Each structure stands twice: as C-alpha cells, then as structure tokens.
Amino acid sequence: MPKKKLDPSTLAFAAIPELNAALKNREISCKELVKFYGKRIETLGPHYNALACSLVKHAHRLTKDIDAEFKDQRWRGPLQGIPYGAKDLLSVAKFPTTWGAKPYASQVFEESATVIRRLDGERALVIAKLSMIELAGGGGYSSAAASLQGPGLNPWNTQYWSGGSSSGSGAAVAAGLVPFALGSETSGSILTPACFCGVTGLRPTYGLVSRHGAMALSWTLDKIGVLAHTAEDCALVLHRIAGGDDADPGSARKSFYYTPEYYRPTKDLNVGYAEIDWAEWPDEPLRPAFASALAAVKSLGARMLESRLPDFPYGPVIGAIIDSEAASVFEQFIRSGQVDQLADQSQIDGLKASLTYSAIDYLKAMRVRAQIQAAFRQLFATVDLLVAPTRLSLPDRADIPFPESEPKRPDQKGVVAGLVQASNLCGLPAITVPCGFVNGLPIGLQIVGPPFQENRVIAFAKAFQSNTSFHRQHPPVA
C-alpha cells in the first residue's frame, strides 16, 4: 500500500503524538522527517537569528537505524525519531557550545549534557543548537542584540524580540523549525520567549531535570525545561528527561511520570488569581485580550479564589542571589578581561559589579528566600494552583535598546507582581500557554503549582488548550 502523503504545512506544526503516529504507521520515515525539519532549521533559522549550530548531518546518519526499528515495530516511546533543538548552553559532544558569547565561540566538550544523552536513549534526534542571550543574561543586558547570533527575532513580526534568554528555542518552535526545544530558566528565560513567541513553555521544579553539561549561571536557581506546541508535548518530553543524576549536586533524585489518567478533575481544584492582574496590571492595549483569557480560565469550572502573593522584595532577593552566584561561576572570566568581549556593555558592567557582592549580602538574600519558601508553602495549603498573565507587555523592539524605565503599574498587588521571581526562588513548576493576540503578537497565561506537581500544572494547561485554539495558530513563515 502506498504511503499516505503528509501536508508539509501541517507537518511543520504537528504535535509529538501526531508525528509519532505518522512514523509508526510509516506515513513518513525518520530520514524524511529529519530532512524536512533540517531544511527548515538551516533555511529559516538564520532568518530569525535562531540557529547557533546545525547538527542535521549528524542526525541524518542516525536515521537509518531508527527507520529499521520502526520497520521491525521496535517502538521505544513517543520521542523515537523526533527531531528537536537544544539551547546552546547544553553541551553536545564534539560540537561547539558557545553559551551565546563570542569568548566561547570555539568551545567544545567531549561529553553531551545528561538531558541530551537521555533523549539519545529515546532515539530523539538533536538537529540544532539554538541561539541564546550571552551567558544566559548573567549580569543583565540592555538589548536583544546581546547574543553571538544577533537579536532573536520574533516569527510573528521580526521587528520584535523573541524573548530571552532562550530566544532561539522560542523562535524555532514558533516557526515550526523543530517540534520541540530544550531551554533553561533562572528567572523567566523559558516563560518569556514561550510567551512572546506564542508557544507552550514548561519550567520544571528545581532539581527535577539534571543540569549536568549545562552552563551554570546560578547553581541554586538554574532549571532545564521544554518549549513545544502543546502542554502534552511538554509532558512527553519531561517524562523522558526528568530523573536523578549524581553528576548534578542540585538533583532532587525524583522522576516524573506523565499520568493524565490520574488527573484530578478541574472542578475539584482551588485556583488562586487576582482580578487586578488581568484588568489593571497589563499594558492597556492588552487588557481586553486578558479579560477574555480570564473568562476562558473561569469557564473550566475550577473554584477561583482571590489571592495575593506574600509581601517580599522578590526582585532584589533573586537579583542578589543570581549576581553572587554568577560572580563565583565567572570570576576568572571577569578578572581576566575576557568579559570585555561580550556584545552588551551593560552586561559587561553588571558582571564586573557582581564581584562587589559580599558574603553577608548573599546570606541575607538566602535567609529571606527561606522565608519566601515558607510563605509559599502556606499559600499552597489554600490553593492548588496560581494563574496570572505571563508577561504584562508585548515584546520589545529587536533593533533598539530596551526602555530604561518600566511602565507605571498599580500600587495594589495581586498575584502577577513578582510571580516569576517568587516561583523561581521557590523552585516551583510553571507552564505558560498562549491565551490571545494583540496587534498580531501573542500573549500568555502562566500556571504555577507546588513543587513536583507538574502533572497538576500540565493538566490545567491541557484543559485550557482543549477549550481554546490559540496554540493552534501559527505565524507567517518567511
């Protein structure tokens, strides 16, 4: 029987279960799939400044064995034969790992990161290293151009930024250049590009996914996660990359099993939110779209409870911890003068200034962090999840420096103010899903849960995506 032909426009944005079914039914071969996505990433990746290094030829050499497995019905799991991209702070053996920065442009490691090796074991195929903000934004940066590949461009409108620091991962998934990508987050670096690019981004609980083989920025905050088209796609990848690793001192030594059959019904959940987060905190042009998004959340039937975050200085606390730990990681790099080769002067200045933090500053921040974690344990005794807008503004322009001042926000606080920083300080799982469009650019909804409750977070996101179609809308492709 002749193979059924797949529509290329459908294939580019197909979810992982759809690709898996096509491979198992032999509607397409792994070789053809790698060729299809490989051509897209090599042709369109540079258009968005998303491609750091192509691994297509390397992946192509592995397709023969994988196709033989499908022919013999030796099925390993849903990621078998699926191409993907990895943020360029994750090492892939024998290939450059630049950390998005000129001083590391020729850096090569002999061993792949643990997450890459785990996906190798599932027979997923890494076809690209994806661009990022240099050194994952350590020290702070003032424009989208703070990257070895240039400013990450948003596939919805290339005049705008794709978001940092996992800029290439967000753009590549949004443009259908890879079915999924790995990213990292210290304080918003998965949620932001996923939101700006209109894709789904999952940040796991701290310690659930090994960081061995990833560039360190902040040992007590760094996390590896997933950007994909759907919440279910993120879950399928997390199932395979989570787990203990003795090579990562921060490993929680826990696994994640995607178990949708055991989800609690949405109507049984208490969901914390604040009306002001949707009506007054976002920039004014975004408010009607967020009002519609909140109505869609409420229609899911959960018990919605007005909530507020505990009152702490989240920004200064997380800033002190990141800067102090980054100073330790990059001390020799800064003192040697190599730091002056970075693209962004404010980042250079920020990294140099990080050396001035004292042990007292760091320990004070860590003590407040412990208080924040205790306060969130109390908060999650009353709610099962927190929901809020992911970002309150549309992305900045990619060709000019970021605005120096933030828009004026309300004095009254709900959930959204500080949620990204607070949830990272507490190591909490979060997911962002597309929830609307403003001026042709996506906006996002973030869902945050207690530690190691990824299934709960994913279930709520999946329910939202089952009742909306924002995640099925895709940008015009160059």
SS3 419: helix
Which two three-digit tokens encode residue 377?
A: 């344990």
Residue predicted with more confidence, 7 or 291: 291
Q: What percent of the chain has pLDDT over 90?
A: 95
Separation CA 207–CA 53 (nearest Å): 28
pLDDT at 406 (0 to 100): 84
Q: pLDDT tier at 5 (50, 70, 90 boundaries)?
A: low
- What does DSSP say about strands 270-273 and 303-306: parallel, antiparallel, or unpaired? parallel
Q: pLDDT tier at 1 (50, 70, 90 boundaries)?
A: very low
Q: Are 45 and 167 in contact (CB under 8 A)?
A: no
SS3 375: helix
H or E segment at 239? Answer: helix 231-241
Q: Is 405 a residue whose pLDDT tops 90?
A: no
- pLDDT tens-digit map of 194-223: 999 999 999 999 999 999 999 999 999 999
If you average pLDDT over every residue of the chain, what do you get? Answer: 96
Q: Are 339 and 333 in contact (CB under 8 A)?
A: yes
- Nearest to 241, CA basis, from 120, 421, 152: 120
Q: What percent of the chain has pLDDT over 70?
A: 98
102 flagged as catalytic: no
CA angle 139, 203, 172 (to 5 degrees): 80
Separation CA 332–CA 139 (nearest Å): 15
87 flagged as catalytic: yes
346 flagged as catalytic: no
Placement of tokens 């933090």 in the chain: 357
Active-site residue identified among 87, 129, 223, 462: 87
Active-site residue identified among 189, 218, 251, 423: 189
Strands (E), 217-295: 223-228, 270-273
| Helix, strand, coil share (%) of the chain residues, nearest 5 | 40, 15, 45
Placement of tokens 């890494």 in the chain: 126
Q: pLDDT tier at 423 (50, 70, 90 boundaries)?
A: very high
Can you tell me the mean pLDDT for 310-331? 98
Can you tell me the mean pLDDT for 368-377? 98
- Nearest to 102, CA basis, from 148, 65, 142, 40: 148
Q: Which residues contact 4 (CB under 8 A, 6 or more apart)?
A: 25, 27
- pLDDT tens-digit map of 256-272: 999 988 888 999 999 99
Active-site residue identified among 91, 131, 165, 251: 165
Q: Is 379 a residue whose pLDDT tops 50?
A: yes
Q: Is 323 a residue whose pLDDT tops 90?
A: yes
- pLDDT tens-digit map of 85-129: 999 999 999 999 999 999 999 999 999 999 999 999 999 999 999
Domains located in the chain, CATH noted: 18-478 (3.90.1300.10)
SS3 259: coil
- pLDDT tens-digit map of 46-96: 999 999 999 999 999 999 999 999 999 999 999 999 999 999 999 999 999
pLDDT at 449 (0 to 100): 98
- pLDDT tens-digit map of 286-304: 999 999 999 999 999 999 9
| Helix and strand element counts for the chain (H, E) | 17, 13
- Neighbouring C-beta atoms of residue 30, cutoff 10 Å: 25
Can you tell me the mean pLDDT for 362-379? 98
Lowest mean pLDDT across 230-239, 256-265, 394-403: 256-265
Q: Is 7 a residue whose pLDDT tops 90?
A: no
pLDDT at 4 (0 to 100): 57
- What does DSSP say about strands 200-203 and 223-228: parallel, antiparallel, or unpaired? antiparallel
- CA terminus-to-terminus distance, the chain: 35
Half-sphere exposure of 105 (CA within 13 A, CB side): 9
Can you tell me the mean pLDDT for 345-365? 98
- pLDDT tens-digit map of 180-196: 999 999 999 999 999 99
